[in-house]
Amino acid sequence: MSKDRKISIRPMTLADLDEVMPIEEASYTAPWKRSMFEADLHGNPFARFFVARDPDQGTVVGYVCFWKVFAELHLMNLSVHPDRRRLGIGGELVRWTLSWAKENAVSLVTLEVRASNEAAKRLYEKLGFKLVAVRHNYYRDPREDALIMNWSEG
């Protein structure tokens, strides 16, 4: 998939988890369990989960998970298949999420990112997120600070 190719984004279903879980496990040292995805997909009225598919192959190449609570959105999880990284998919997912936020009366988007995740920090900053706080020793495996970043329209 080239950088200028579009992805197809649609709501995640339980059937997508067979493709989502290997991406999750390859992306994080402490990945979400399948049961966590299942619980949010069918038991959490605030949760919104979406998959990005390659339009030619139909395979899941990434996903974004967030909670919308009133006028706030918390970006919980965003991952791209290891073989599809550095192709703009992560950026497209974030831009799509911000567009969704605007269409759904969200005024504030928040997220946490590992302090060492330079690529993600650059992407978020490029898209208008600002560093607002640090949560010391937030992550484990390895122990690391989380940077709290916010985006607001305007």
pLDDT tens-digit series, residues 108-118: 999 999 999 99
Residue range 10-67, pLDDT digits in tens: 999 999 999 999 999 999 989 999 999 999 999 999 999 999 999 999 999 999 999 9
Determine the pLDDT at residue 2.
Answer: 41
Determine the 3-state secondary structure of 49 from DSSP: strand
State how far the Cα of 112 lies from the Cα of 127, in Å rounded to an integer. 15
State whether residue 150 is helix, strand or coil. strand
**For the segment 101-153, what is each residue's pLDDT rounded down to a tens digit?**
999 999 999 999 999 999 999 999 999 999 999 999 999 888 999 999 999 98
Q: Tell the CATH topology of 8-152.
A: Aminopeptidase (3.40.630)
Give the pLDDT score at 101. Answer: 98
Beta strand ranges found along 44-128 (DSSP E): 47-53, 60-69, 72-80, 108-114
Q: pLDDT tier at 95 (50, 70, 90 boundaries)?
A: very high
Nearest to 129 by CA among 45, 73, 56, 48: 73
CB 127 within 8 A of CB 116: no
| Rounded distance between C-alpha atoms, residue 11 and residue 65, angstroms | 10
State percent of the chain over pLDDT 90.
Answer: 91
Q: Are strands 72-80 and 60-69 parallel, antiparallel or unpaired?
A: antiparallel
pLDDT at 5: 59
- Whether residue 1 contacts residue 56, with contact meaning beta carbons closer than 8 Å, is answered with yes
